[in-house]
């Protein structure tokens, strides 16, 4: 269900295949030390989640992770090293999720494709991103 995409023993991304939709309860795909936490939750009618608040606390985050949730279609994800050299590609499809952790990346839609992107903020495109 979870495919760890690595290069030279470094985790670049996690691909969560659509089979996660069969899981019940709370299922985290990420471990607690990642700066982006992603989970799938599937509960029966009338299930209660206890009300809660999240405590304010300062957290240092040195990278920007992105989460893409494919709603429809398919997307090719191209990976690059820090020297902007192409490494390899992976394809993600409807209901797949990818968590981009490190390394450069680009995308090509393989057909009509709808997806949601989630990343940390605040986000400043001029300071947080450069294109090559």
Return d(Cα 19, Cα 125) in angstroms, integer: 34
- Give domain status of residue 70, yes or no: yes
List per-block mean pLDDT (blocks of 10 residues) for the chain, which spans 132 residues: 94 96 96 93 97 93 93 98 96 98 95 96 85 91
- Give domain status of residue 84, yes or no: yes
Domain that holds residue 12: 1-18+63-121
Q: What is the CATH number of the domain that holds 116?
A: 2.60.120
Residue 117: CB partners within 8 Å, gap ≥ 6?
66, 67, 68
pLDDT of residue 130: 85
pLDDT of residue 81: 94
Return d(Cα 62, Cα 121) in angstroms, integer: 12
- Give domain status of residue 5, yes or no: yes
- Give domain status of residue 24, yes or no: no
pTM to 2 decimal places: 0.91
The number of distinct structural domains making up the chain is 1
- Give domain status of residue 87, yes or no: yes
pLDDT of residue 128: 85
Q: Which two tokens stand for residue 33?
A: 């030390």
pLDDT of residue 105: 97
- Give domain status of residue 93, yes or no: yes
pLDDT of residue 58: 92
């Amino acid at each position: 269900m979870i495919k760890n995409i690595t290069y030279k023993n470094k985790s670049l991304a996690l691909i969560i295949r659509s089979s996660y939709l069969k899981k019940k309860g709370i299922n985290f795909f990420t471990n607690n030390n990642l700066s982006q936490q992603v989970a799938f939750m599937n509960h029966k009618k009338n299930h209660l989640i206890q009300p809660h608040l999240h405590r304010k606390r300062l957290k240092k985050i040195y990278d920007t992770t992105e989460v893409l949730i494919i709603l429809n279609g398919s997307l090719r994800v191209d990976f690059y090293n820090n020297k902007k050299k192409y490494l390899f590609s992976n394809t993600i499809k409807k209901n797949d999720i990818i968590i981009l952790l490190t390394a450069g990346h680009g995308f090509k839609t393989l057909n009509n494709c709808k997806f949601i992107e989630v990343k940390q903020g605040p986000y400043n495109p001029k300071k947080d991103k450069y294109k090559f």
